[in-house]
Structure 1
Amino acid sequence: MDGLLRQIDGYCERTDPSYWSEPVNAVTNLAFVVAAYVMWRRVRGQNMPLAVTLCALLAAIGIGSYLFHTHAQVWAAIADVTPIVLFSLTYIFAANRTYWGWSLWAAALGTAAYIPYSALLTPVFEALPFFSISSFYWPLPVLIGAYAVLLRNRDPRTAWGLAIGAAILCVSLTARSIDEPLCMNLPLGTHFLWHILNGIMLGWMIEVYRAALVRQRNGAASA
Protein backbone atom coordinates (compact mmCIF):
# COMPACT_ATOMS: atom_id res chain seq x y z
CA MET A 1 0.00 0.00 0.00
CA ASP A 2 2.83 2.38 0.84
CA GLY A 3 4.18 1.89 -2.67
CA LEU A 4 0.90 3.06 -4.18
CA LEU A 5 1.04 6.22 -2.06
CA ARG A 6 4.59 7.13 -3.04
CA GLN A 7 4.85 10.68 -4.32
CA ILE A 8 5.92 11.32 -7.93
CA ASP A 9 7.47 14.60 -9.03
CA GLY A 10 8.08 14.32 -12.75
CA TYR A 11 6.92 17.64 -14.19
CA CYS A 12 8.30 21.15 -14.26
CA GLU A 13 5.19 22.82 -12.88
CA ARG A 14 5.17 20.74 -9.69
CA THR A 15 7.22 22.35 -6.91
CA ASP A 16 5.83 20.53 -3.85
CA PRO A 17 3.57 17.55 -2.96
CA SER A 18 0.43 19.66 -2.48
CA TYR A 19 -2.80 18.95 -4.37
CA TRP A 20 -2.74 22.14 -6.47
CA SER A 21 0.97 22.22 -7.21
CA GLU A 22 0.18 21.62 -10.91
CA PRO A 23 -2.90 23.78 -11.57
CA VAL A 24 -2.32 24.25 -15.31
CA ASN A 25 -1.43 20.60 -15.89
CA ALA A 26 -4.53 19.62 -13.91
CA VAL A 27 -7.05 21.98 -15.51
CA THR A 28 -5.92 21.37 -19.10
CA ASN A 29 -7.16 17.80 -18.79
CA LEU A 30 -10.52 19.33 -19.63
CA ALA A 31 -9.32 19.06 -23.25
CA PHE A 32 -9.85 15.29 -23.08
CA VAL A 33 -13.31 15.59 -21.52
CA VAL A 34 -14.44 18.26 -24.01
CA ALA A 35 -13.16 16.20 -26.95
CA ALA A 36 -14.92 13.12 -25.57
CA TYR A 37 -18.19 15.00 -25.25
CA VAL A 38 -17.97 16.52 -28.74
CA MET A 39 -17.28 13.14 -30.31
CA TRP A 40 -19.92 11.38 -28.24
CA ARG A 41 -22.46 13.86 -29.63
CA ARG A 42 -21.29 12.94 -33.15
CA VAL A 43 -21.44 9.15 -32.74
CA ARG A 44 -24.37 8.57 -30.41
CA GLY A 45 -27.35 6.81 -31.92
CA GLN A 46 -25.39 5.69 -34.98
CA ASN A 47 -24.81 2.08 -33.92
CA MET A 48 -21.09 2.64 -33.38
CA PRO A 49 -20.35 0.83 -30.10
CA LEU A 50 -16.58 0.98 -30.51
CA ALA A 51 -16.72 4.73 -31.17
CA VAL A 52 -18.85 5.22 -28.04
CA THR A 53 -16.36 3.11 -26.08
CA LEU A 54 -13.51 5.28 -27.38
CA CYS A 55 -15.36 8.39 -26.23
CA ALA A 56 -15.80 6.91 -22.75
CA LEU A 57 -12.13 5.99 -22.60
CA LEU A 58 -11.15 9.46 -23.79
CA ALA A 59 -13.11 10.98 -20.90
CA ALA A 60 -11.43 8.48 -18.55
CA ILE A 61 -8.03 9.63 -19.82
CA GLY A 62 -8.89 13.17 -18.74
CA ILE A 63 -10.09 12.02 -15.32
CA GLY A 64 -7.08 9.77 -14.76
CA SER A 65 -4.62 12.45 -15.83
CA TYR A 66 -6.36 14.98 -13.57
CA LEU A 67 -5.95 12.62 -10.61
CA PHE A 68 -2.28 12.15 -11.43
CA HIS A 69 -1.52 15.87 -11.73
CA THR A 70 -3.26 16.61 -8.42
CA HIS A 71 -2.46 13.63 -6.18
CA ALA A 72 0.85 12.81 -7.93
CA GLN A 73 1.09 9.34 -6.42
CA VAL A 74 1.72 5.89 -7.86
CA TRP A 75 -1.95 4.84 -7.76
CA ALA A 76 -2.86 8.02 -9.67
CA ALA A 77 -0.16 7.28 -12.26
CA ILE A 78 -1.84 3.90 -12.81
CA ALA A 79 -5.20 5.67 -13.18
CA ASP A 80 -3.52 7.96 -15.71
CA VAL A 81 -1.84 5.33 -17.89
CA THR A 82 -4.50 2.58 -17.85
CA PRO A 83 -7.19 4.36 -19.94
CA ILE A 84 -4.49 5.49 -22.41
CA VAL A 85 -3.48 1.86 -22.97
CA LEU A 86 -7.11 0.76 -23.24
CA PHE A 87 -7.91 3.54 -25.73
CA SER A 88 -4.90 2.60 -27.86
CA LEU A 89 -5.79 -1.09 -27.95
CA THR A 90 -9.47 -0.40 -28.61
CA TYR A 91 -8.60 1.93 -31.48
CA ILE A 92 -6.21 -0.59 -33.02
CA PHE A 93 -8.95 -3.21 -32.86
CA ALA A 94 -11.47 -0.81 -34.42
CA ALA A 95 -8.97 0.12 -37.13
CA ASN A 96 -8.25 -3.52 -37.93
CA ARG A 97 -11.95 -4.26 -38.23
CA THR A 98 -12.99 -1.18 -40.22
CA TYR A 99 -9.93 0.00 -42.15
CA TRP A 100 -8.73 -3.47 -43.11
CA GLY A 101 -11.98 -5.42 -42.91
CA TRP A 102 -10.41 -8.15 -40.81
CA SER A 103 -12.47 -10.79 -39.05
CA LEU A 104 -13.09 -10.53 -35.31
CA TRP A 105 -10.30 -12.96 -34.45
CA ALA A 106 -7.80 -11.51 -36.91
CA ALA A 107 -8.48 -8.00 -35.55
CA ALA A 108 -8.06 -9.26 -31.98
CA LEU A 109 -4.76 -10.98 -32.82
CA GLY A 110 -3.58 -7.87 -34.64
CA THR A 111 -4.42 -5.82 -31.56
CA ALA A 112 -2.58 -8.24 -29.26
CA ALA A 113 0.44 -7.94 -31.53
CA TYR A 114 0.82 -4.34 -30.41
CA ILE A 115 2.13 -5.56 -27.04
CA PRO A 116 5.27 -7.31 -28.36
CA TYR A 117 5.63 -4.59 -31.01
CA SER A 118 5.72 -1.92 -28.31
CA ALA A 119 7.96 -4.01 -26.08
CA LEU A 120 10.50 -4.30 -28.91
CA LEU A 121 10.35 -0.68 -30.06
CA THR A 122 10.24 1.10 -26.67
CA PRO A 123 13.87 0.20 -25.79
CA VAL A 124 14.96 1.64 -29.14
CA PHE A 125 13.46 5.01 -28.19
CA GLU A 126 14.84 4.69 -24.65
CA ALA A 127 18.32 4.62 -26.14
CA LEU A 128 17.78 7.94 -27.94
CA PRO A 129 18.46 11.09 -25.85
CA PHE A 130 15.45 13.19 -26.91
CA PHE A 131 12.99 10.31 -27.21
CA SER A 132 13.85 8.45 -24.01
CA ILE A 133 11.54 10.39 -21.66
CA SER A 134 8.47 9.47 -23.76
CA SER A 135 9.77 6.16 -25.09
CA PHE A 136 6.62 4.32 -23.99
CA TYR A 137 4.48 6.48 -26.29
CA TRP A 138 6.60 6.83 -29.44
CA PRO A 139 5.64 3.42 -30.91
CA LEU A 140 2.09 4.81 -31.34
CA PRO A 141 2.80 7.53 -33.94
CA VAL A 142 5.07 5.06 -35.74
CA LEU A 143 2.20 2.57 -35.97
CA ILE A 144 -0.34 5.22 -36.98
CA GLY A 145 2.04 6.45 -39.65
CA ALA A 146 2.55 2.92 -40.92
CA TYR A 147 -1.22 2.42 -41.18
CA ALA A 148 -1.47 5.73 -43.07
CA VAL A 149 1.15 4.64 -45.60
CA LEU A 150 -0.34 1.18 -46.07
CA LEU A 151 -3.87 2.54 -46.48
CA ARG A 152 -2.99 5.30 -48.98
CA ASN A 153 -4.31 3.33 -51.97
CA ARG A 154 -7.06 1.36 -50.25
CA ASP A 155 -8.62 4.34 -48.43
CA PRO A 156 -6.89 7.69 -49.13
CA ARG A 157 -9.22 9.72 -46.87
CA THR A 158 -8.55 7.52 -43.87
CA ALA A 159 -4.84 7.44 -44.67
CA TRP A 160 -4.72 11.23 -44.75
CA GLY A 161 -6.68 11.45 -41.50
CA LEU A 162 -4.29 9.04 -39.79
CA ALA A 163 -1.29 10.97 -41.10
CA ILE A 164 -2.68 14.15 -39.55
CA GLY A 165 -3.24 12.30 -36.28
CA ALA A 166 0.31 10.96 -36.27
CA ALA A 167 1.70 14.44 -36.94
CA ILE A 168 -0.29 16.00 -34.08
CA LEU A 169 0.86 13.21 -31.77
CA CYS A 170 4.50 13.83 -32.69
CA VAL A 171 4.13 17.52 -31.81
CA SER A 172 2.33 16.54 -28.61
CA LEU A 173 5.08 14.11 -27.63
CA THR A 174 7.66 16.78 -28.31
CA ALA A 175 5.89 19.09 -25.85
CA ARG A 176 5.88 16.28 -23.29
CA SER A 177 9.56 15.54 -23.84
CA ILE A 178 10.88 19.10 -23.50
CA ASP A 179 8.99 19.85 -20.26
CA GLU A 180 11.92 19.09 -17.94
CA PRO A 181 14.79 20.27 -20.20
CA LEU A 182 13.20 23.73 -20.50
CA CYS A 183 12.21 23.96 -16.85
CA MET A 184 14.91 26.44 -15.84
CA ASN A 185 13.84 28.91 -18.52
CA LEU A 186 10.12 28.08 -18.56
CA PRO A 187 8.92 27.36 -14.99
CA LEU A 188 5.39 26.54 -16.14
CA GLY A 189 6.75 23.79 -18.35
CA THR A 190 5.24 22.47 -21.55
CA HIS A 191 3.41 19.38 -20.31
CA PHE A 192 0.05 21.17 -20.47
CA LEU A 193 0.46 21.32 -24.26
CA TRP A 194 0.62 17.51 -24.24
CA HIS A 195 -2.86 17.51 -22.73
CA ILE A 196 -4.36 20.06 -25.12
CA LEU A 197 -2.82 18.57 -28.26
CA ASN A 198 -3.60 15.02 -27.18
CA GLY A 199 -7.22 15.91 -26.52
CA ILE A 200 -7.44 17.31 -30.05
CA MET A 201 -5.55 14.37 -31.54
CA LEU A 202 -7.58 11.63 -29.84
CA GLY A 203 -10.86 13.33 -30.69
CA TRP A 204 -9.64 13.61 -34.29
CA MET A 205 -8.76 9.91 -34.36
CA ILE A 206 -12.30 9.03 -33.29
CA GLU A 207 -13.61 11.29 -36.05
CA VAL A 208 -11.40 9.54 -38.62
CA TYR A 209 -12.84 6.20 -37.48
CA ARG A 210 -16.42 7.52 -37.51
CA ALA A 211 -16.06 8.94 -41.02
CA ALA A 212 -14.50 5.73 -42.34
CA LEU A 213 -17.29 3.64 -40.86
CA VAL A 214 -19.93 5.92 -42.38
CA ARG A 215 -18.30 5.68 -45.81
CA GLN A 216 -18.08 1.93 -45.47
CA ARG A 217 -21.76 1.63 -44.59
CA ASN A 218 -22.81 3.98 -47.37
CA GLY A 219 -20.76 1.99 -49.84
CA ALA A 220 -22.34 -1.27 -48.71
CA ALA A 221 -25.80 0.27 -48.92
CA SER A 222 -25.28 1.45 -52.48
CA ALA A 223 -23.65 -1.80 -53.66
Structure 2
Amino acid sequence: MTPYCERAAPGWFAEPLNTVSGLAYFVAAWQSWKQLERARWREQWDLHLLAALVAAVGLAAVLWHASGIAWLHWLDRAALGAFVVAYWSVFLVRTQRFGAVAVAVAWLLTAIGLAALGSVLPLQAYGGTGIYMPLLALLVAAIGLAARVDRRLARDLLLASALFLLALVVRALDLVLCDWAVVGTHWLWHLLTAGLLFVLVDGMIRHVRLRETQAAQAVG
Protein backbone atom coordinates (compact mmCIF):
# COMPACT_ATOMS: atom_id res chain seq x y z
CA MET A 1 0.00 0.00 0.00
CA THR A 2 1.33 3.46 -0.91
CA PRO A 3 1.64 5.96 1.98
CA TYR A 4 -0.82 8.39 0.39
CA CYS A 5 -3.76 7.87 -1.92
CA GLU A 6 -2.44 10.20 -4.61
CA ARG A 7 0.86 8.30 -4.93
CA ALA A 8 0.16 5.37 -7.23
CA ALA A 9 3.82 4.74 -8.13
CA PRO A 10 7.33 5.52 -6.84
CA GLY A 11 9.44 8.31 -8.27
CA TRP A 12 9.40 12.07 -8.50
CA PHE A 13 6.25 14.18 -8.90
CA ALA A 14 3.83 11.31 -8.40
CA GLU A 15 1.89 13.46 -5.90
CA PRO A 16 1.35 16.79 -7.67
CA LEU A 17 -1.59 17.94 -5.50
CA ASN A 18 0.09 16.95 -2.25
CA THR A 19 3.27 18.69 -3.39
CA VAL A 20 1.62 21.94 -4.48
CA SER A 21 -0.57 22.13 -1.38
CA GLY A 22 2.62 22.03 0.71
CA LEU A 23 3.27 25.57 -0.52
CA ALA A 24 0.51 26.71 1.86
CA TYR A 25 3.07 26.52 4.67
CA PHE A 26 5.21 29.11 2.90
CA VAL A 27 2.19 31.41 2.67
CA ALA A 28 1.55 30.94 6.40
CA ALA A 29 5.22 31.62 7.19
CA TRP A 30 5.29 34.75 5.03
CA GLN A 31 2.08 36.13 6.56
CA SER A 32 3.54 35.57 10.03
CA TRP A 33 6.92 37.03 9.11
CA LYS A 34 5.33 40.23 7.73
CA GLN A 35 3.89 41.04 11.14
CA LEU A 36 7.28 41.07 12.84
CA GLU A 37 9.45 44.15 13.26
CA ARG A 38 12.78 43.72 11.51
CA ALA A 39 14.46 46.36 13.68
CA ARG A 40 13.54 44.44 16.82
CA TRP A 41 14.70 40.98 15.83
CA ARG A 42 16.82 40.69 18.97
CA GLU A 43 13.75 41.07 21.20
CA GLN A 44 11.60 38.98 18.85
CA TRP A 45 14.10 36.33 17.78
CA ASP A 46 11.86 33.59 19.14
CA LEU A 47 8.90 34.81 17.07
CA HIS A 48 11.10 35.02 13.98
CA LEU A 49 12.21 31.45 14.70
CA LEU A 50 8.60 30.23 14.79
CA ALA A 51 7.86 31.84 11.42
CA ALA A 52 11.03 30.32 9.95
CA LEU A 53 10.10 26.87 11.26
CA VAL A 54 6.71 27.08 9.55
CA ALA A 55 8.63 27.59 6.29
CA ALA A 56 10.86 24.62 7.21
CA VAL A 57 7.75 22.45 7.63
CA GLY A 58 6.67 23.52 4.15
CA LEU A 59 10.06 22.79 2.59
CA ALA A 60 10.18 19.32 4.15
CA ALA A 61 6.60 18.56 3.07
CA VAL A 62 7.21 19.65 -0.52
CA LEU A 63 10.44 17.65 -0.80
CA TRP A 64 8.89 14.53 0.72
CA HIS A 65 5.77 14.52 -1.42
CA ALA A 66 7.61 15.53 -4.59
CA SER A 67 10.22 12.78 -4.27
CA GLY A 68 8.77 9.98 -2.16
CA ILE A 69 12.29 9.34 -0.82
CA ALA A 70 11.87 7.50 2.48
CA TRP A 71 14.30 9.50 4.64
CA LEU A 72 12.60 12.74 3.64
CA HIS A 73 9.50 11.44 5.41
CA TRP A 74 11.49 11.61 8.64
CA LEU A 75 12.70 15.09 7.75
CA ASP A 76 9.05 16.07 7.32
CA ARG A 77 8.23 14.82 10.82
CA ALA A 78 11.40 16.33 12.28
CA ALA A 79 10.48 19.78 10.95
CA LEU A 80 7.05 19.58 12.56
CA GLY A 81 8.63 18.26 15.75
CA ALA A 82 11.05 21.20 15.81
CA PHE A 83 8.13 23.60 15.52
CA VAL A 84 6.30 21.88 18.39
CA VAL A 85 9.37 22.05 20.64
CA ALA A 86 10.00 25.70 19.79
CA TYR A 87 6.38 26.77 20.13
CA TRP A 88 5.81 25.09 23.50
CA SER A 89 9.04 26.63 24.80
CA VAL A 90 8.10 30.10 23.53
CA PHE A 91 4.60 29.65 24.95
CA LEU A 92 5.94 28.84 28.41
CA VAL A 93 8.36 31.78 28.38
CA ARG A 94 6.06 34.38 26.83
CA THR A 95 2.76 33.52 28.54
CA GLN A 96 3.78 31.89 31.81
CA ARG A 97 6.98 33.94 32.30
CA PHE A 98 9.01 30.78 32.92
CA GLY A 99 12.78 30.93 33.25
CA ALA A 100 15.20 28.35 31.88
CA VAL A 101 14.90 26.00 34.87
CA ALA A 102 11.09 26.19 34.92
CA VAL A 103 10.96 25.52 31.16
CA ALA A 104 13.22 22.47 31.59
CA VAL A 105 11.01 21.10 34.37
CA ALA A 106 7.88 21.82 32.34
CA TRP A 107 9.37 19.99 29.37
CA LEU A 108 10.22 17.00 31.55
CA LEU A 109 6.64 16.82 32.79
CA THR A 110 5.35 17.35 29.26
CA ALA A 111 7.50 14.53 27.88
CA ILE A 112 6.31 12.17 30.63
CA GLY A 113 2.68 13.11 30.01
CA LEU A 114 2.93 12.72 26.23
CA ALA A 115 4.76 9.40 26.58
CA ALA A 116 2.07 8.12 28.96
CA LEU A 117 -0.65 9.24 26.57
CA GLY A 118 1.15 7.70 23.62
CA SER A 119 1.38 4.37 25.42
CA VAL A 120 -2.41 4.02 25.54
CA LEU A 121 -3.26 5.45 22.12
CA PRO A 122 -3.15 3.49 18.83
CA LEU A 123 -0.47 5.73 17.34
CA GLN A 124 -0.19 3.84 14.05
CA ALA A 125 -3.93 3.71 13.44
CA TYR A 126 -5.39 5.27 10.30
CA GLY A 127 -2.14 5.51 8.39
CA GLY A 128 -0.15 6.82 11.35
CA THR A 129 -2.56 9.66 12.12
CA GLY A 130 -2.77 8.55 15.75
CA ILE A 131 0.80 9.72 16.33
CA TYR A 132 -0.45 13.31 16.29
CA MET A 133 -3.11 12.83 18.96
CA PRO A 134 -0.78 13.70 21.89
CA LEU A 135 -0.17 17.07 20.21
CA LEU A 136 -3.90 17.75 20.34
CA ALA A 137 -3.76 17.08 24.08
CA LEU A 138 -0.87 19.55 24.34
CA LEU A 139 -2.98 22.20 22.62
CA VAL A 140 -5.81 21.61 25.08
CA ALA A 141 -3.36 22.06 27.98
CA ALA A 142 -2.14 25.30 26.39
CA ILE A 143 -5.71 26.61 26.21
CA GLY A 144 -6.10 26.15 29.96
CA LEU A 145 -2.81 27.92 30.70
CA ALA A 146 -3.48 30.76 28.26
CA ALA A 147 -6.97 31.42 29.62
CA ARG A 148 -5.38 32.63 32.87
CA VAL A 149 -3.37 35.39 31.19
CA ASP A 150 -4.83 36.16 27.74
CA ARG A 151 -8.34 35.10 26.77
CA ARG A 152 -7.83 36.11 23.16
CA LEU A 153 -4.82 33.81 22.89
CA ALA A 154 -6.90 31.06 24.49
CA ARG A 155 -9.53 31.57 21.78
CA ASP A 156 -6.81 31.38 19.12
CA LEU A 157 -5.62 28.11 20.61
CA LEU A 158 -9.19 26.83 20.67
CA LEU A 159 -9.48 27.65 16.95
CA ALA A 160 -6.14 25.93 16.34
CA SER A 161 -7.41 22.84 18.18
CA ALA A 162 -10.55 22.76 16.02
CA LEU A 163 -8.44 23.04 12.85
CA PHE A 164 -6.15 20.31 14.10
CA LEU A 165 -9.02 17.96 14.90
CA LEU A 166 -10.48 18.50 11.43
CA ALA A 167 -7.03 17.99 9.89
CA LEU A 168 -6.63 14.70 11.73
CA VAL A 169 -9.98 13.49 10.40
CA VAL A 170 -9.01 14.50 6.85
CA ARG A 171 -5.62 12.80 7.15
CA ALA A 172 -7.19 9.59 8.45
CA LEU A 173 -9.65 9.51 5.56
CA ASP A 174 -6.96 9.77 2.86
CA LEU A 175 -6.50 6.04 2.27
CA VAL A 176 -9.96 5.07 3.52
CA LEU A 177 -11.69 7.06 0.76
CA CYS A 178 -9.05 6.39 -1.89
CA ASP A 179 -11.38 4.42 -4.16
CA TRP A 180 -13.87 7.27 -4.12
CA ALA A 181 -11.55 10.30 -4.13
CA VAL A 182 -8.80 9.46 -6.60
CA VAL A 183 -6.45 12.23 -5.43
CA GLY A 184 -7.12 11.51 -1.77
CA THR A 185 -7.55 14.04 1.02
CA HIS A 186 -3.99 14.53 2.27
CA TRP A 187 -3.70 17.83 0.42
CA LEU A 188 -6.44 19.14 2.73
CA TRP A 189 -4.24 18.15 5.67
CA HIS A 190 -1.60 20.53 4.33
CA LEU A 191 -4.04 23.41 3.94
CA LEU A 192 -5.59 22.90 7.38
CA THR A 193 -2.31 22.47 9.23
CA ALA A 194 -0.80 25.47 7.44
CA GLY A 195 -3.75 27.47 8.73
CA LEU A 196 -3.25 25.92 12.16
CA LEU A 197 0.42 26.94 12.31
CA PHE A 198 -0.44 30.47 11.19
CA VAL A 199 -3.10 30.80 13.89
CA LEU A 200 -0.59 29.62 16.51
CA VAL A 201 2.16 32.04 15.47
CA ASP A 202 -0.22 34.92 14.83
CA GLY A 203 -1.79 34.45 18.26
CA MET A 204 1.63 34.46 19.92
CA ILE A 205 2.68 37.61 18.07
CA ARG A 206 -0.46 39.41 19.22
CA HIS A 207 0.05 38.16 22.78
CA VAL A 208 3.58 39.59 22.84
CA ARG A 209 2.27 42.93 21.56
CA LEU A 210 -0.40 42.93 24.26
CA ARG A 211 2.20 42.28 26.96
CA GLU A 212 4.41 45.06 25.60
CA THR A 213 1.48 47.49 25.54
CA GLN A 214 0.54 46.60 29.10
CA ALA A 215 4.14 47.06 30.22
CA ALA A 216 4.34 50.48 28.54
CA GLN A 217 1.09 51.58 30.14
CA ALA A 218 2.31 50.45 33.56
CA VAL A 219 5.49 52.52 33.17
CA GLY A 220 3.55 55.49 31.85
Same topology, TM > 0.5: yes
Query: 3-state SS of the aligned residue for 1:10?
Result: coil
Aligned to 1:28: 21
1:188 Cα deviation after fit: 0.8
Letter in 2 for 1:13: E
Q: Is 2:69 the counterpart of 1:73?
A: yes
1:71 Cα deviation after fit: 1.7
Aligned to 1:59: 55
- Residue from 126, 142, 147 that aligns with 1:147: 142
Query: 3-state SS of the aligned residue for 1:175?
Result: helix
Percent of aligned pairs sharing the same letter: 27
Given that residues 123 and 135 in structure 1 are in contact (C-alpha distance below 8 angstroms), is that contact kept between their aligned partners in structure 2? no
- Residue from 7, 12, 16 that aligns with 2:5: 12
Aligned to 1:97: 93
- Relative distance call for 1:126 and 1:187 in structure 2 (3 A) is same
Gaps of at least 5 residues in structure 2 are none
Deviation >4 Å, runs of 4+:
127-130
Letter in 2 for 1:16: A
- Relative distance call for 1:51 and 1:22 in structure 2 (3 A) is same
Aligned to 2:111: 115
Q: Is 2:41 the counterpart of 1:48?
A: no
Equivalent residue pairs, number: 215
TM-score by length of 2: 0.91
Letter in 2 for 1:194: W
Deviates more, 1:17-26 or 1:71-80: 71-80
**CA distance in structure 2 between the aligned counterparts of 1:103 and 1:184, rounded to whole angstroms:** 52
Aligned to 1:194: 189
Q: CA RMSD of the aligned region, Å? A: 1.9
Query: 3-state SS of the aligned residue for 1:204?
Result: helix
1:112 Cα deviation after fit: 4.4
Gaps of at least 5 residues in structure 1 are 1-7
Deviates more, 1:143-152 or 1:21-30: 143-152
1:158 Cα deviation after fit: 1.3
**CA distance in structure 2 between the aligned counterparts of 1:206 and 1:127, rounded to whole angstroms:** 27
1:121 Cα deviation after fit: 1.5
